[in-house]
Each structure stands twice: as structure tokens, then as C-alpha cells.
Amino acid sequence: MADTKITALAAIATVDPAADVLPIVDISDTSMAASGTTKKITSNQILGSGGTATLASATITGALTSGTTTLVAHAAGYTNKVGIGTATPNNTLTINGTAATWTKGAYIIYSDAGSTYIGGLGNGGNIFGSGTDNDIGITTGGATNLRLGTNNTERMRITSTGDVSIANGNVVMSTSGKGIDFSAVTGGTGTATANVLNDYEEGVFDAFFITGGGTVTINPAINQCRYTKIGRLVTVQGSVIVSSVSSPIGPLLISGLPYTIATGAEGNAYSAMSVFPSGLETTATGQIVGYGVVGSVSIYMYRYELGTLIGLAPSAKTGSEFTFSMTYSI
């Protein structure tokens, strides 16, 4: 049967893409005509999966709807702006969601004065890349905090007032000599040569006695002392007991400090020791004094009697105890 010639076309009042058909000539089917057979195809079949279509350049205006999502491109009055979920995109790309799909509500991507922003991250916050100084920034809007985390756990928080708190973890200096720089907040009448707090350490050390001659032996069960190092200052403290003596003479030294006392041009690094002695020879009189000598790891102890320093070693006896503390620089 020959194809019927179409002599007139009428507009379709209501379009039904699934039912309305278009004529198409299948040139491979010559069963009805030498030039091919006219067949029908719907709009849905043309737009269905499985095929590839090449379209000419086109300008889209108005809204495109797929399911429940609306894409607005070049909406009237919003030239060069695209909106998803909104009919009034006020920036280059505006994505407006609800709590069901977006945890923070409105998201806005836009450019301004050479910078790119992702905005609307809760109360007006932004992530931005600056086109003027190449910086990347994260800001919050209003009196809100900035929180950073890993593994779904908050690790650090910058409050709206500028305080920084570490919720879970430590601040780790990866390079020796680096620390916290206080150069902007120093004061006083001295001359500052360094403003970086770059070291902290705490631990224990084993003390032992040294004399000018003979021996004063420390009790190895009670000779472990503590120390704390903050920057260049070391504080040591402990209590040591004499276990035996053998003809000691001269000064008595508590030695084994964890760091060497500063030396060289820093002769002002001498430090005095605070000491509480007990159990000394009953003939020993005068005040017990001690100091750390530069360039050493020892504290020298003497008796100060009538303006004279007398070696303390002969005054020690079995059971003598010295409780001491000293802060020195390195």
C-alpha cells in the first residue's frame, strides 16, 4: 500500500510525548515502497536511552524540570546566572536545597572582583579563593564558630571571638626550632633576643654525688629527680639520701643534671639552689648554700660560716638527706 500524501498540518492542542507520533521513513524497509516505508515514532522514543544525539547550539531560557529538581538557566532578568532549586538565581550558580537534601540550606557559588566564593555555608559563611593574592579562605557569618575535623570528629575550633581550641589532639611542631612566636606581645625594660617558645620537655634523671676527695655515696633507691624544660630554662627538683661515706673532703656536688648549664659569654647564667638539709654531722654549723656552675651538670654545695665557704662533704654522714630545687638556663 502506498503512503498517503500529507496535504495539511494542524497544531496539536495537548502534546503527549508518549502517544503522539512523528512520521519517519525507514529506507531499509522497501516492502511497501522502493524508497522506503513510512513508520511512526514518539518523542519519548527519540529521547529514550540507548541513542546518541548531536544538537546544534541552543539558548535555553526558562525552567527545565526533571523529577522534583528544577534547573533555571538564564531566567528572565537573571542573564548569565544558573539556578538549581530556585527560579531566581542571584549569582553565577545558585543551588538552593532543603534540609532533606542539603544539611546547610542555601549554597551559592559566585565570582566577585576576581575571587570565587562558595557561600551560604550556614549563617552566611564562605569558602573563597582570592583572585588578588591567591589565598584560599574559609569564613563564617555572624557570631558563629569555624570547626575543622577528621574522621567525622571535631579536632579544632576557631570561635567567633578569635580563640582557637583543640578538641582532640596536640599541636605538633614538625621542624626543630619552631614554636609559638610572641614577638608581637613582648614588653618590659630588658632587651629581648628571642620571642619564640620552641621547646617543652619533662622527665627524670639519676643524681649522684661528687666530692673533692674520698667518697659520699648516694642511695640508688632514692636518687631519681625530676626536671622540666621550658625554652632555655630547666628546673630540677628532688630529694637525695646519703647511703655511705668514706673520708670525704671539699665541696659536695649533686651531679647528673639533664642539661649542661649555659657557659661562654653568658656568665650571668649562674643559678642559686634552694636546699633543705637534714641528718648532717652535729658539729656542722652555718647556712647550707648551693649554686650551679656554668658549663657543668653539677650543683656545688657548701656551708657558709662567718663569711667563709666551707666544703660540705665532711659534714655528710650516712642517712643525710638533701631536698633541693634549682632553675638554670642552657
- 179 within some domain: no
pLDDT at 121: 55
134 contact partners, CB below 8 Å, separation of at least 6: none
Indicate the residue type of 237.
Q
Given pLDDT bands bounded at 50, 70 and 90, which one contains residue 105?
very low
Q: For residue 281, what is its C-alpha cell?
A: 654531722
Given pLDDT bands bounded at 50, 70 and 90, which one contains residue 27?
confident
301-318 burial, b for 16+ CB within 10 Å, e for fewer? Answer: bbbeeeeeebbbbbbbbe
Final residue before a domain boundary, out of 107, 128, 149: 128
- 189 within some domain: no
State residue 173 phi and psi, 5-degree precision: -85, 115
Least confident of 33-37, 203-207, 284-288, 311-315: 33-37
Q: In terms of domains, do 252 and 222 share one?
A: yes
Q: In terms of domains, do 226 and 325 share one?
A: yes
Domain with 272 in it? 201-329
Highest mean pLDDT, choosing among 175-179, 270-274, 280-284, 312-316 = 312-316
Task: Provide the greatest CA pair distance for the chain.
Answer: 141
Angstrom distance (rounded) from CA 208 to CA 299 = 11
Q: What sign does the CA torsion over 133, 134, 138, 140 have?
A: positive
Average of per-residue pLDDT values in the chain? 79
CA-based nearest residue to 58, from 35, 74, 47: 74
Q: In terms of domains, do 73 and 30 share one?
A: no
Say if CB 21 and CB 41 are below 8 A apart: yes
216 contact partners, CB below 8 Å, separation of at least 6: 209, 242, 244, 245, 248, 252, 313, 316
Q: In terms of domains, do 105 and 222 share one?
A: no
Say if CB 69 and CB 63 are below 8 A apart: no
Using one digit for the tens of pLDDT, what is the confidence trace for 275-305? 999 999 988 888 999 999 889 999 999 999 9
What region, left, alpha or beta, does residue 196 occupy, with left being phi > 0 and alpha being psi -120 to 50 degrees?
beta
Final residue before a domain boundary, out of 128, 146, 164: 128
- 183 within some domain: no
Using one digit for the tens of pLDDT, what is the confidence trace for 54-77? 555 555 555 565 555 555 555 566
Final residue before a domain boundary, out of 128, 143, 174: 128
CATH number at residue 322: 2.60.90
Q: In terms of domains, do 266 and 217 share one?
A: yes
Q: In terms of domains, do 122 and 228 share one?
A: no
- 185 within some domain: no
CA of 49: how far to CAs of 44, 115, 146, 209, in Å?
A: 10, 40, 45, 91
Q: What is the total count of domains within the chain?
A: 3
- 181 within some domain: no
